[in-house]
């Protein structure tokens, strides 16, 4: 891992936290603002925002557009967690080491806060015509909307919901996760690319990279669900198994799951080598994120 | 009312229904697609889409952009009804004469369908670069996101939620409704204007028109809640009073509420006269919609 990676992560995280703190709940009614900020601030790995920033940076793109896109994708992720945790879904009480939003502020406020966070994602992208060209705004909104909706994250959650207690095969599980978590991670990389307007071969390699990382992330998540404890994870461990949800570990065992994660990392590295050959020379931080995705312990 | 109004409404509604039927649930997992379509198709007054179409038409704008914007704003409205009806919010079982989505398909699916409908709204706007210029897409997304979120509809719902059992004054009630229902109705008119790229004086008059109609709509809604029965309304009558929610009728009585609705109609007519003076000569259908908003019985 490059020596510059850790300081870059620290600087980037600070930038994202400051931007989110400035933008989330601004001019909103007090209770709603509090719920939105509680759901978003001071927590989370911020993998999606970091992917946006690292990709844009690797391509020498528009940094202000990337910061808005980075916050937007994190808001989509945050709203999905708020709604996922609600009693009618996973009924979870712990998230990022804190009580979940509906436990802390009530179900109605949690529902509304999630809805408002989704809208805010699209608002952030479309707010600053001076620094983010309208054409870029439209492309970013298009990518994010598709990755969030019924053909992306929400669709994956619907398949997940319909699969409890069923025996999925590996292809079905992969499809479910490619939507549920993969779509938004892939979208993060592609939004970063959109901030730079790249040629098609570079776009395609970035898509390969984003897809590999998206799947690897979920495989590792499934592994951690059975190998880590709740305090390390910051959320309830073992809950997938307890809810009888299909996971890679349940389907193929721990060892083969780890081999799959490693194969996906190699796939991501292959894409990075191709990008280098295509003239993308500043992808060190993207490579660092790829390492982190498969080596993380929480 | 112009003789051409009724046939125009019929043609426009058919156009909107066909577009929604083609676009809602497309390529989504079956259960999610069914819930989204159940929430959106075969019901509703479609006032917001009609406002988009009538405004665009009055200005000679881009009809394909307007159709996408019209469907998008209706999806935001539809998702808000699905979430509003859920047990943790209004706990309503009847909507548009049918069981509500969570009664019909379960709470988890209703929650996800609402989320997916919001994302689809932004996806529809950003899908067709060939017919809808990217710059127009960005402006439409920006208007819709702001009107939907914490500074618009979701913010109004949060104030509504926080106001149950409290005594609001007229200014507070007006503020709440200007966000809760007003923002999206105003946005409908402004999205229609965005499909035509109008000069500032016309934009301002359309904003006045949209705001007046937005408030008038809510005042009439409050009047109907106490004067109409459930089968006429297609939803549970008297539920605002039963939930001890603040309404215009509770605050100022039936007669003064009717006078307010009439004053708002006159305000809307004033804006239409100004628009005519500014060279907008084809606003008959907008005028027809203004009439309908204050004269409707359901």
Q: In this predicted structure, what is the pLDDT of residue A228?
A: 78
pLDDT grade, residue B229 (50/70/90)? Answer: low
Q: Is the pLDDT confidence value at B1 over 60?
A: no
Q: In this predicted structure, what is the pLDDT of residue A96?
A: 82
Q: Is the pLDDT confidence value at A253 over 70?
A: yes
For residues A211 and A261, what is the distance between their CA atoms, to the nearest angstrom? 12
Residues of chain A with Cβ-Cβ distance to B154 below 8 Å are 32, 112, 115-116, 119
Residue A258: φ, ψ to 5° = -65, -35
State the DSSP code for B126: T
Residue of A nearest to B121 (CA): A145
| CATH of the structural domain B5-295, one choice from 1.10.10.10, 3.40.50.261, 3.40.50.2300, 1.10.600.10 | 1.10.600.10
Q: Is the pLDDT confidence value at B199 over 80?
A: yes
User: In the predicted model, what is the mean pLDDT of chain A?
Assistant: 92
Residues of chain B with Cβ-Cβ distance to A158 below 8 Å are 28-29, 31-32, 109, 112, 116
Within 10 angstroms of residue B34's Cβ, the number of other Cβ atoms is 16
Q: How far is B5 from chain A (nearest CA, A)?
A: 34
Tell me which of A14 and B243 has the higher pLDDT.
Answer: A14
- B152/A119 touch (CB, cutoff 8 Å), yes or no: yes
- A31/B158 touch (CB, cutoff 8 Å), yes or no: yes
- A123/B146 touch (CB, cutoff 8 Å), yes or no: yes
Residues of chain B with Cβ-Cβ distance to A80 below 8 Å are 115
Residues of chain B with Cβ-Cβ distance to A115 below 8 Å are 79-80, 83, 114-115, 118, 154
For residues B81 and B38, what is the distance between their CA atoms, to the nearest angstrom? 12
Residues of chain B with Cβ-Cβ distance to A118 below 8 Å are 115, 118-119
Q: In this predicted structure, what is the pLDDT of residue B231?
A: 58
Tell me which of A222 and A67 has the higher pLDDT.
Answer: A67
Residue-wise pLDDT for B44-57, tens only, equals 899 999 999 999 99
Q: In this predicted structure, what is the pLDDT of residue A43?
A: 78
Identify which of A36, A83, A134 has the shortest CB distance to residue B138. A134
Max Cα distance, chain B (Å) = 52
Residue of B nearest to A157 (CA): B112
- B111/A159 touch (CB, cutoff 8 Å), yes or no: no
Tokens of A186: 């892939």
Q: Is the pLDDT confidence value at A97 over 70?
A: yes
Helices and strands, counts by H and E, chain A: 15, 2
For residues B55 and B188, what is the distance between their CA atoms, to the nearest angstrom? 8
Number of residues written out for chain A = 298
pLDDT grade, residue B96 (50/70/90)? Answer: confident
- DSSP line for A254-288: HHHHHHHHHHHHHHHHHHHHHHHHTT----HHHHH
For residues B215 and B116, what is the distance between their CA atoms, to the nearest angstrom? 28
- Give the least confident one: A147-151, A218-222, A236-240: A236-240
- B149/A120 touch (CB, cutoff 8 Å), yes or no: yes
B46: left (phi over 0), alpha (psi -120 to 50) or beta: left
Q: Is the pLDDT confidence value at A229 over 90?
A: no
Q: Is the pLDDT confidence value at A247 over 60?
A: yes
Give me the residues paired with residue A94 across strands: A99
Domain residue ranges of chain B, discontinuous segments joined by +: 5-295
Tokens of A198: 């790249």
- B122/A127 touch (CB, cutoff 8 Å), yes or no: no
Average pLDDT for B280-294: 91
- A149/B114 touch (CB, cutoff 8 Å), yes or no: no
Residues of chain A with Cβ-Cβ distance to B114 below 8 Å are 115
pLDDT grade, residue A2 (50/70/90)? Answer: low
Tell me which of B43 and A137 has the higher pLDDT.
Answer: A137
User: Is ipTM beyond 0.85?
Assistant: yes
Residues of chain B with Cβ-Cβ distance to A145 below 8 Å are 119-123, 126
Q: How far is A3 from chain B (nearest CA, A)?
A: 39
Residues of chain B with Cβ-Cβ distance to A125 below 8 Å are 141
For residues B37 and B30, what is the distance between their CA atoms, to the nearest angstrom? 10
Going by C-beta distance under 8 Å and a sequence separation of 6 or more, which residues neighbour residue B286? B51, B54, B55, B58, B209, B272
Q: Is the pLDDT confidence value at B114 over 90?
A: yes
- A79/B115 touch (CB, cutoff 8 Å), yes or no: yes
Residue with tokens 């439209």: A138
Residue of A nearest to B102 (CA): A88
Q: In this predicted structure, what is the pLDDT of residue A33?
A: 98
- A118/B115 touch (CB, cutoff 8 Å), yes or no: yes
The size of the A-B interface in CB pairs under 8 A is 176
Residue-wise pLDDT for A178-204, tens only, equals 999 999 999 999 999 999 989 999 999
Residue of A nearest to B120 (CA): A149
- B154/A109 touch (CB, cutoff 8 Å), yes or no: no
Residue-wise pLDDT for A199-219, tens only, equals 999 999 999 999 999 999 999
- A9, A50 Cβ separation under 8 angstroms: yes
Q: Is the pLDDT confidence value at A276 over 60?
A: yes
Provide the b/e sequence for B240-261 (b: ≥16 CB within 10 Å). Answer: beeeebbbbbbbbeeeebbebb
Residue-wise pLDDT for B163-193, tens only, equals 888 888 999 999 999 999 999 999 999 999 9
Tokens of B64: 């394909």
- B29/A152 touch (CB, cutoff 8 Å), yes or no: no
Q: In this predicted structure, what is the pLDDT of residue A101?
A: 97
- DSSP line for B29-94: -HHHHHHHHHHHSS-S--HHHHHHHHHHHHTT--HHHHHHHHHHHHHHHHHHHHHHTSTTTT---E
């Amino acid at each position: 891992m490059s020596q510059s990676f850790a300081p870059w992560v620290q600087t980037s995280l600070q930038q994202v936290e400051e931007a989110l703190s400035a933008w989330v709940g601004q001019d909103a009614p007090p209770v709603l603002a509090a719920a939105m900020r509680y759901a978003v601030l001071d927590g989370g790995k911020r993998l999606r925002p970091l992917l946006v920033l690292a990709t844009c940076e690797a391509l020498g793109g528009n940094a202000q557009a990337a910061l808005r896109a980075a916050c937007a994708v994190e808001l989509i992720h945050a709203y999905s967690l708020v709604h996922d945790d609600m009693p009618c879904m996973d009924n979870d009480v712990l998230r990022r080491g804190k009580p979940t939003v509906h436990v802390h502020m009530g179900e109605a406020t949690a529902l509304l806060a999630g809805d408002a966070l989704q809208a805010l994602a699209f608002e952030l992208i479309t707010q600053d015509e001076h620094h983010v060209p309208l054409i870029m705004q439209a492309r970013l909104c298009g990518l994010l909307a598709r990755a969030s909706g019924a053909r992306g994250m929400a669709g994956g959650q619907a398949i997940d919901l319909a699969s409890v207690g069923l025996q999925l095969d590996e292809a079905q599980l992969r499809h479910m996760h490619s939507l549920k978590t993969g779509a938004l991670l892939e979208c993060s990389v592609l939004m970063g690319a959109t901030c730079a307007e790249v040629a098609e071969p570079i776009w395609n390699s970035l898509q390969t990279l984003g897809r590999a990382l998206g799947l690897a992330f979920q495989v590792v998540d499934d592994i951690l669900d059975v190998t880590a404890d709740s305090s390390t994870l910051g959320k309830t461990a073992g809950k997938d198994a307890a809810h009888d949800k299909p996971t890679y570990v349940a389907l193929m065992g721990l060892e083969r799951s780890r081999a799959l994660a490693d194969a996906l990392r190699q796939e991501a590295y292959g894409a990075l080598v191709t990008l280098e050959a295509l003239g993308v020379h500043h992808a060190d931080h993207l490579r660092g994120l790829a390492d982190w995705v498969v080596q993380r312990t929480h």
